[in-house]
């Protein structure tokens, strides 16, 4: 039965509940090869996923978005991961270069209109990256906060032309603790900012360390009410 028959993807997703992320990942990489890629912003979840994926397919496709505002620690981590896993990440950037964006919108668009800044620097490049795949693997967890509590392991979206896109969230059922246990036990490289009070690392103008008891994404766009950059919300989820 095709996974795109009504209900089939949801049924498969339910069957994966409680299964190890490696099993879900191995299934996705085989089912959708070669049109499957992992997206990462190099959070601890992305590092764990990368470690699992390379063990399954050493040539796994991985893409990231460079907004021009990454922390130096994130850039160094990218290099360390490429060296450790023998991979070369595909890097997408805004359609227009930084100088043009700054001329049009000012230097600090993140402060005057963070939604537009994310739309130009994150969402549009991600949309371009996803055009080349049928399946998109991401490192989202349900316990990252209210905006992610309802994610499914397999989710159905549509490309702009109406063709299906499956999003795979192998870590959906993992907790933050599960992820850290994996990373520490396997010696997976991670962002040193995560040892300095940051729990989620994005662009430097929009990220701060979090305080005791705060939600792990509270340091992103703090005080603005914004909780997501848009790359995980710009498409409407369809019934699976
Ligand atoms: Fe711009 Fe901040 Fe979004 Fe980065 S996170 S794209 S700097 S608004």
155-204: pLDDT as tens digits = 999 998 989 999 999 999 999 999 999 999 999 999 999 999 998 899 99
Domain ranges of the chain: 6-196
Kindly indicate the confidence band of residue 228, based on its pLDDT and cuts at 50, 70 and 90. Answer: confident
Return the higher-pLDDT residue of 173 and 2.
Answer: 173
Average pLDDT rounded to a whole number, residues 203-209 = 92
220 lines ligand 1 (CB under 6 A): no
Does 1 have pLDDT greater than 60?
no
38 lines ligand 1 (CB under 6 A): no
| Ligand 1 centre distance from Cα of residue 95 (Å) | 15
CB 238, CB 156: distance < 8 Å:
yes
Going by the DSSP 8-state scheme, the letter that residue 219 receives in this structure is: T
**229 labelled catalytic:** yes
**Looking at domain 6-196, which of 2.20.25.570, 3.40.50.620, 3.30.390.50, 1.20.120.850 is its CATH number?**
3.40.50.620
Ranking 58-67, 148-157, 179-188, 224-233 by mean pLDDT, the lowest is 224-233
Q: Ligand 1, residue 206: give the atom nearest the CA.
A: 2
Kindly indicate the confidence band of residue 230, based on its pLDDT and cuts at 50, 70 and 90. Answer: confident
Query: Tokens 């499957």 — which residue?
Result: 36
Average pLDDT rounded to a whole number, residues 15-37 = 97
- CA–CA distance, 122 with 137 (Å, rounded to integer): 17
Kindly indicate the confidence band of residue 2, based on its pLDDT and cuts at 50, 70 and 90. Answer: low
CB 10, CB 35: distance < 8 Å:
no
Q: What predicted TM-score, i.e. pTM, was given to this entire model?
A: 0.93
Query: Tokens 């009504």 — which residue?
Result: 6
192 lines ligand 1 (CB under 6 A): no
For residue 4, the model assigns a pLDDT of 67
Ligand 1 binding pocket mutation candidate from 92, 96, 118, 204 (most atoms within 8 A of CB): 118
Residue nearest atom 4 in ligand 1 by C-alpha distance: 203
199 lines ligand 1 (CB under 6 A): no
| Ligand 1 centre distance from Cα of residue 33 (Å) | 32
Task: Give 115-169 pLDDT, tens digit per residue.
Answer: 999 999 999 999 999 999 999 999 999 998 888 999 999 999 999 898 999 999 9
For residue 240, the model assigns a pLDDT of 72
CB 94, CB 199: distance < 8 Å:
no
| Ligand 1 centre distance from Cα of residue 34 (Å) | 31
């Amino acid at each position: 039965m095709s996974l795109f028959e009504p209900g089939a993807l949801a049924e498969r997703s339910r069957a994966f509940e409680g299964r190890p992320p490696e099993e879900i990942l191995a299934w996705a990489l085989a089912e959708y090869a070669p049109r499957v890629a992992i997206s990462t912003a190099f959070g601890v979840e992305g590092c764990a996923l990368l470690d699992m994926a390379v063990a399954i397919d050493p040539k796994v496709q991985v893409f990231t978005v460079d907004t021009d505002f990454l922390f130096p620690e994130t850039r160094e981590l990218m290099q360390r991961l490429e060296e450790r896993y023998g991979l070369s990440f595909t890097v997408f950037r805004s359609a227009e270069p930084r100088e043009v964006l700054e001329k049009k919108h000012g230097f600090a668009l993140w402060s005057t209109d963070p939604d537009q800044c994310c739309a130009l620097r994150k969402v549009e490049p991600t949309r371009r990256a996803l055009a080349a795949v049928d399946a998109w693997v991401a490192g989202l967890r349900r316990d990252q906060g209210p905006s992610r509590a309802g994610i499914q392991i397999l989710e159905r979206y549509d490309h702009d032309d109406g063709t299906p896109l499956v999003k795979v969230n192998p870590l959906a059922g993992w907790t933050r603790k599960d992820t850290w246990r994996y990373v520490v036990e396997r010696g997976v490289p991670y962002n040193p900012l995560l040892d300095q009070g940051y729990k989620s690392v994005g662009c430097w103008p929009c990220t701060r360390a979090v305080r005791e008891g705060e939600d792990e994404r509270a340091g992103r766009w703090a005080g603005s009410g914004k909780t997501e950059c848009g790359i995980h919300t710009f498409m409407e989820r369809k019934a699976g």
